[in-house]
Structure 1
Amino acid sequence: MTTSSQAEPQAAGRGRSKWGVVALVAAGVAGLVVAIPYLKADDDVGASSSPNDWTGFGRTFGEQHFSPLTEISKDNVGQLGLAWSLDLPLGNAISAPLAVDGVLYIATGYSVVRAIDAVSGKILWTYDPEAPAAAGRKLRQGWGIRGLAYEAGRIFVGTHDGRLLALDAKTGKPVWTAQTLPKDDLSFISGPPRVFNGKVIIGFGGADVDNIRGYVTAYDTATGKQLWRFYTVPGDPAKGFEDDAQKMAAKTWAGDWWRYGGGGTVWNAMTYDPTTDTMILGVGNGAPWNHKIRSKGQGDNLFLSSIVGLDAKTGTYKWHYQTNPGESWDYNASMDIALADLKIAGKKRQVLMTAPKNGFFYVIDRTNGKLISAEPFVKVTWAKGIDIATGRPIEVPESRYPNGSTFVMWPGPVGAHTWLPMAFSPKQGLVYIPAIEMATSYNDKGITRENWVRAPGAAVDGATIPNFEVKEAGPLNATSSLIAWNPVTQKQAWKVPTPGPWNGGVMATGGDLVFQGRIDGKFNAYAADSGKLLWSYAAQAPVTAPPISFAVKGRQYVTVLTGMGTSGAAFGPLLPVSIDYRTQARRVLTFALDGKAVLPKSEPFVPVASEDASYVPNAALAAKGAVSYAIHCAVCHGINAVAAGHAPDLRASMIPTDQASFESVVHEGVLVPNGMPRFEEFDQVKLDGIRQYLRGEADRLRQSKGKAAAKP
């Protein structure tokens, strides 16, 4: 582990503010008091900080991704300019920052944490947990961290190898470490922890690719002592159940599900409701995906694809709502969960709102988990609707691929909404969803319980999920948009198309603005009531990270990270622009009214194939390599070897042109510190096949460029 300290943070006086028209806070100068305008936000449930700070992933316990500050408004946003920028090194740059007492905290790459003076952009300290070296095979999935948490002078961050760390917010030095995951499987941490009432909770991912059983763990924020753990799927009945909830859930499973782990990881959504002292979880998909294999096609398989409420003090089960009983398409319920108090049918209701992968927007009573309403916010073909009386989806029978395959289903496994967060404005009463529309056809012919095998600790395997192929997902049919949704009427208020199949996380503000970045490098501000574009900034790099807003000494700021990370790593062919892993501009951008800073100009990236004079085509070997590449490599380096910026475009790399270099990277792991995993089990045939496939794709790129250049 490494820590560097450049200066001690100079914390501005935080003061104590009242909800009202303005907050009076000390400005860090003796005797000077500055008025910072902000919106009175009664619906901003569980505010965990002053309006000037952003101390958690969604700012407050209620995960609304809403800033009540109003200095920057729809009337003056045209004056918004860059206050400062900070270049970042290689690695994931898509996490949500925190802002506390005039200091920004960001996490990039594999949980490298930096503290930055929020006014000047000066780095105060850096802490690197050196997670890739410790991760081993865990490095084969996941792409780094998505966010942090803050409480009482400490920064909390998870690492890819399964540690939960508490850092001193002033120095960056570790206070305590908890190993929350086993070291011998493919589980990993990518999501931000959440803090509440002296506790910090963390989940993890990995159920797509290994025999993993999901759980969440709560630790004492002061000491790191484990306080409680809740399992999201039942284990082997012969070993006994941890609690009554596991015993209940086991009745909804069939066969020997525990051999496969079961899945149900909580890798993203965790929301604390202080009004009922409930921790609310968004639970992931099963392991394996295929319900026929996982549970003989029988049972609802609790608590997969469910919203689960726990007693926050003890971790004891309270209630659940399952979005997809017997889930079989990766329609997990792990997307962010926002809390609000809404007036529905003339009555004030305490609700949670979520837009999971399956394409329906859910409004649920957060006191008991009962469904209030659910309607599709994008094109949905797998179900005709949601039965309000039972809460169950009205499935189209063909969606279960009864004869081995399905029709073209909307949405696909990427989902109608990924982890990139939506936002809720209590002022407008609207939810702003970064939506995706992409279809998929599933096919599990030839896969049975008898021949389905997955070795523990294996990398992505063709039998891990049902064989599936993406249909109608070309550039014309894989689309994205920013949708404003009314959760009371369950109707769309407005919609703005965004380029490509990916878009950015969203923030709403008390100034009647909605901020969102785009894959093409635009960072935009829209009118919250109409969707009218009011301001746009050319960031010269993809902007998909969630923005935040905060205030220091009476001045409001907006901060966002640029650069690719955990979004759309495999879908390079579908992106509207080419994104280079090495040269893309990974930066922290901070904006304020009348900001005058200017970014250096950059040229668009055009992939150029590496020179390879010794290349000789070998169709048979390349075909074998294509299969191995799809199984093990495409998730990071892109479909058809067309990268999306998360990892290098291997068509343009010199490494595949040299056998020794290729094997040193892939087989020996010389680039593990950079995040490239080691595949020590690959035999020579597999290594040669992947290398031949990559050289062939590079040659295909060269030929296409040559033909284009030859045209008159």
Structure 2
Amino acid sequence: MTLASMAIMGSVGAAAIQDDAVSDPNNWAAFGRTAGEQHFSPLTGISDANVNRLGLAWSMDLPPQNSVSTPLAVDGVLYTATGYSVVRAIDAATGKLIWEYDSRAAELAGRKLRQGWGIRGLAYGQGRIFVGTHDGRLVALDRRTGDVAWEARTLPLDNASFISGPPRYFDGKVIIGFGGGDVSAVRGYVTTYDAATGRQLWRFHTVPGNPADGFENDAMKMAAKTWAGEWWKYGGGGTVWNAMTYDRSTNSIILGVGNGSPWNHKIRSMGQGDNLFLASVVALDADSGAYKWHYQVNPGESWDYNASMDMELADLTIDGKPRQVLMTAPKNGFFYVIDRTNGELISAEPFVKVSWASRIDRATGRPIEHPDARYPDGKTFTMWPSPVGAHTWLPMAFSPQHRLAYIPAIEMATSYNDVGITRQNWVRTPGNAVDGAAIPNFVVKDAGPLNGTSSLLAWDPVAQRPAWKVPTPGPWNGGVMATAGNLVFQGRIDGTLNAYAADSGKRLWSFAAQAPVTAAPISYGVKGVQYVTVLTGMGTSGSAFGPLLPVNIDYRTQARRILTFRIGGRATLPATRPAPIAPAEDVSFASAPAVEGQGAIAYAQHCAVCHGVDVVAAGHAPDLRASTIPLDDAAFATVVRDGVLQANGMPRFEEFDDAKLGAIRQYIRSMGAAWRARLAAKH
């Protein structure tokens, strides 16, 4: 590291993430810039008046791994996390690499690698960069050198829990949650550490454990009354894998809690009880971790409708009175405004098509569910929105200037039933497979023209109605940033980064990024110049929904980069014309329907979450129909069973026997043959 780059690194204190005028607008020192997670920059150097002159300042090519995280910018240094927790420090003005840290998490994760897609963000505090790793560590790095200051193992090695979300720093502490409740018997919790030493300060479980073991606190004793049967044998779920917000005004850390494990309420809890604190917003005392209040968006959650989407804090005037509020647009399609001092529901209205409930009762705070929403008596029910959500983990933004929230909204359906599944016969599929004790159809092809669409939606949280709406291509769009320059920035899967007028939605600027742009942008200042930075590339939990994408996105050829812009920037990207993805030639393929049926089931349980439904990939992992590896049984076994590509993020399935490997391989080849037949029919 040069003396010049050392000089860039000044001293940024705790005020960096405060939600008030004390916070330095030139820094983006937390996932949402400040602790209140508004994803809003108060800088005005780039505005609706000059954004047409915004140009590329520099770019940096990245390895072919997940690149959808939100960077940080502190004192002129950009910090990014990509892949399985590879952290880089970069001179924000020039793009020169200062240091790089590789956690080697993919090599250490073992079976944890079978779920999750890499890291989504970082935290900063007390001169350190904090990053979680897929194998379950929280690591503190010296921000000047990248050296490890301390690391703490926050997850056991022997279950499917993993870290993909960003930690949060607050008041001398750093907190981390985790995911994994979709695939194994996991009990959710968050853990808080001393940011200086790594000493564990407190831990809060989000669902109760076995009553015979006693309860950790009164909150768990209270929550246990809302569960039935022997729920603890299933794990319960409730992982806090993404959203956490710090409210300095009430000294609260607020959690967005995940879904149940398994999804199906009938199996998990005999169909009884609200199952606290699943699918809930939970406030804890920031010093002790003691329970304060909760609001549950989906009592008795049964559809992967978690409350893990980002939560923005703001002060709004509602019914003529000032209110301290929390806003969230979770998966279930309703936009919630909650009093953040006590958890009282202020309002909730649908912002997309919703079929599972008619409304949220203001008096009780509970949804009025459709009578068939819980797929009773063998019925199949088509849910709007899907478990991907009306809004997924990619953050929305809130502008205190315009009093609008900007949501990357998704319209997608999923049908559910649980035919043949009972508490007596259900056994979780082994091997960290996705198994919610229900039968979802994630790609409902006849659900109508709205299915598989998306938009950038400006939402008035006081009036609870849209202010404007811009359609975006496909069922997956990018995270959002708003600025005081009357701008909203968002990337799209069509390979563009766009700036819109925050008050009207008019598109004012667009940049051809040569790859999908799904990460949320950030904006910051260096020596009086405002910059915008975003990462390009497709990744994470949209990876299963390739059949709904308007184009095939190739894992191998898409350009994964860091792009940084400034007014008057004149840098350019290299001209690229990647060949369109196409099915591999497979002259020896012979259909075997019975084997293909067995392979389809195994593929859906173990492979589709990364390689896509119907073997149609969405860019996070290779499209296996276009790969030559499934054409050779030895090569396929080397990758899938022996784990030769584990360091690249491809998990090892050491328990697969030759018959299972052969069935999956046969199914993949059959889907490649179907693709070739469709192409031949067109010509």
TM-score category of the 2 structures, normalised to the smaller one = over 0.9
Q: Does 1:696 align with 2:677?
A: no
Q: Does 1:130 align with 2:126?
A: no
| Alignment CA distance shift 1:347-1:12 (3 Å) | same
Which amino acid in 2 is paired with 1:414?
Answer: V
| C-alpha distance after superposition, 1:72-102 (max 9, x if no partner) | 0001100100111110011000000000111
| Alignment CA distance shift 1:16-1:278 (3 Å) | closer
Quick one: which of 191, 199, 202 aligns to 1:228?
202
**Does the 8 Å contact 1:44/1:426 carry over to 2?**
no
Q: Distance between the aligned counterparts of 2:92 and 2:228, measured in 1? A: 54
Which amino acid in 1 is paired with 2:633?
Answer: Q
Matched residue, 1:293: 267
Matched residue, 1:458: 431
| Alignment CA distance shift 1:401-1:186 (3 Å) | same
Quick one: which of 625, 629, 634 aligns to 1:660?
634
Greater Cα offset, 319-328 or 600-609: 600-609
Q: Distance between the aligned counterparts of 2:360 and 2:680, measured in 1? A: 53
- State the Cα distance separating 1:121 from its structure 2 match: 0.6
Q: Distance between the aligned counterparts of 2:364 and 2:530, measured in 1? A: 46
**Does the 8 Å contact 2:557/2:578 carry over to 1?**
no
Which amino acid in 1 is paired with 2:137?
Answer: R
| Alignment CA distance shift 1:463-1:278 (3 Å) | closer
Which amino acid in 1 is paired with 2:281?
Answer: I
**Does the 8 Å contact 1:475/1:500 carry over to 2?**
no
Q: Distance between the aligned counterparts of 2:148 and 2:71, measured in 1? A: 19
**Does the 8 Å contact 1:421/1:433 carry over to 2?**
yes
Quick one: which of 93, 106, 118 aligns to 2:67?
93
Matched residue, 1:33: none
Given the two structures, how large is their TM-score scaled by the length of structure 2?
0.97
Quick one: which of 465, 477, 501 aligns to 2:475?
501
Matched residue, 2:188: 214
Matched residue, 1:259: 233
Matched residue, 2:43: 69
Matched residue, 2:569: 595
- Map 1:476-515 to 2 at 5 A: 477-515=451-489
Q: Does 1:186 align with 2:130?
A: no
Which amino acid in 2 is paired with 1:105?
Answer: Y
Q: Structure 2: which 5+ runs fail to align?
A: none
| C-alpha distance after superposition, 1:100-150 (max 9, x if no partner) | 111100000000000111011111111101001110000000000000011
| Alignment CA distance shift 1:88-1:16 (3 Å) | closer
Q: Distance between the aligned counterparts of 2:479 and 2:77, measured in 1? A: 22
Matched length: 681
Q: Does 1:306 align with 2:280?
A: yes
Q: Does 1:677 align with 2:646?
A: no
Matched residue, 2:147: 173
- Map 1:548-697 to 2 at 5 A: 548-603=522-577, 605-697=579-671
Q: Distance between the aligned counterparts of 1:118 and 1:16, measured in 2? A: 16
**Does the 8 Å contact 2:428/2:435 carry over to 1?**
no
Q: Distance between the aligned counterparts of 1:7 and 1:649, measured in 2? A: 45
Which amino acid in 2 is paired with 1:537?
Answer: F
Q: Does 1:532 align with 2:528?
A: no
Which amino acid in 1 is paired with 2:142?
Answer: D
Q: Does 1:12 align with 2:8?
A: yes
Provide the aligned C-alpha RMSD in A.
1.8
Matched residue, 1:350: 324
Q: Does 1:397 align with 2:393?
A: no
Matched residue, 2:29: 55
**Does the 8 Å contact 1:562/1:589 carry over to 2?**
yes
Q: Distance between the aligned counterparts of 1:141 and 1:6, measured in 2? A: 39
- State the Cα distance separating 1:573 from its structure 2 match: 1.3
- State the Cα distance separating 1:697 from its structure 2 match: 1.7
Q: Report the 3-state secondary structure (helix = DSSP H, G, I; strand = E; otherwise coil) of the residue aligned with 1:627.
A: helix
**Does the 8 Å contact 2:31/2:123 carry over to 1?**
yes
- State the Cα distance separating 1:152 from its structure 2 match: 1.8
Q: Does 1:340 align with 2:336?
A: no
Quick one: which of 357, 371, 381 aligns to 2:355?
381
| C-alpha distance after superposition, 1:419-474 (max 9, x if no partner) | 0000000000000000001112111011111111126x632154544444542457
**Does the 8 Å contact 1:6/1:123 carry over to 2?**
no
Q: Distance between the aligned counterparts of 1:108 and 1:133, measured in 2? A: 15
Q: Distance between the aligned counterparts of 1:474 and 1:225, measured in 2? A: 53
Q: Distance between the aligned counterparts of 2:380 and 2:655, measured in 1? A: 34
Q: Distance between the aligned counterparts of 1:622 and 1:474, measured in 2? A: 29
Q: Report the 3-state secondary structure (helix = DSSP H, G, I; strand = E; otherwise coil) of the residue aligned with 2:95.
A: coil
Q: Distance between the aligned counterparts of 2:672 and 2:516, measured in 1? A: 24
Q: Report the 3-state secondary structure (helix = DSSP H, G, I; strand = E; otherwise coil) of the residue aligned with 1:294.
A: helix
Q: Report the 3-state secondary structure (helix = DSSP H, G, I; strand = E; otherwise coil) of the residue aligned with 1:630.
A: helix
Greater Cα offset, 544-553 or 636-645: 636-645
Greater Cα offset, 626-635 or 204-213: 626-635
Matched residue, 1:273: 247
Which amino acid in 2 is paired with 1:201?
Answer: I
Q: Report the 3-state secondary structure (helix = DSSP H, G, I; strand = E; otherwise coil) of the residue aligned with 2:233.
A: helix
**Does the 8 Å contact 2:182/2:435 carry over to 1?**
no
| Alignment CA distance shift 1:16-1:659 (3 Å) | closer
Q: Distance between the aligned counterparts of 1:520 and 1:285, measured in 2? A: 31
Q: Distance between the aligned counterparts of 1:276 and 1:416, measured in 2? A: 30
| Alignment CA distance shift 1:469-1:546 (3 Å) | closer
**Does the 8 Å contact 1:475/1:575 carry over to 2?**
no
Q: Report the 3-state secondary structure (helix = DSSP H, G, I; strand = E; otherwise coil) of the residue aligned with 1:700.
A: helix
Q: Report the 3-state secondary structure (helix = DSSP H, G, I; strand = E; otherwise coil) of the residue aligned with 2:358.
A: strand
Q: Structure 1: which 5+ runs fail to align?
A: 20-40
| Alignment CA distance shift 1:469-1:52 (3 Å) | closer
Q: Distance between the aligned counterparts of 1:7 and 1:635, measured in 2? A: 46
**Does the 8 Å contact 2:179/2:239 carry over to 1?**
yes
- State the Cα distance separating 1:406 from its structure 2 match: 3.8
Given the two structures, how large is their TM-score scaled by the length of structure 1?
0.93
Q: Distance between the aligned counterparts of 2:21 and 2:295, measured in 1? A: 25
Quick one: which of 98, 105, 114 aligns to 1:140?
114
Q: Does 1:325 align with 2:321?
A: no
**Does the 8 Å contact 2:242/2:308 carry over to 1?**
yes
Matched residue, 1:27: none
Q: Report the 3-state secondary structure (helix = DSSP H, G, I; strand = E; otherwise coil) of the residue aligned with 1:397.
A: coil
**Does the 8 Å contact 1:344/1:488 carry over to 2?**
yes
Q: Distance between the aligned counterparts of 2:624 and 2:409, measured in 1? A: 30
Quick one: which of 438, 441, 444 aligns to 2:415?
441
**Does the 8 Å contact 1:284/1:305 carry over to 2?**
yes
| Alignment CA distance shift 1:405-1:703 (3 Å) | same
Matched residue, 1:705: 679
Quick one: which of 422, 444, 460 aligns to 2:396?
422
Which amino acid in 2 is paired with 1:211?
Answer: A
Q: Distance between the aligned counterparts of 1:156 and 1:187, measured in 2? A: 19
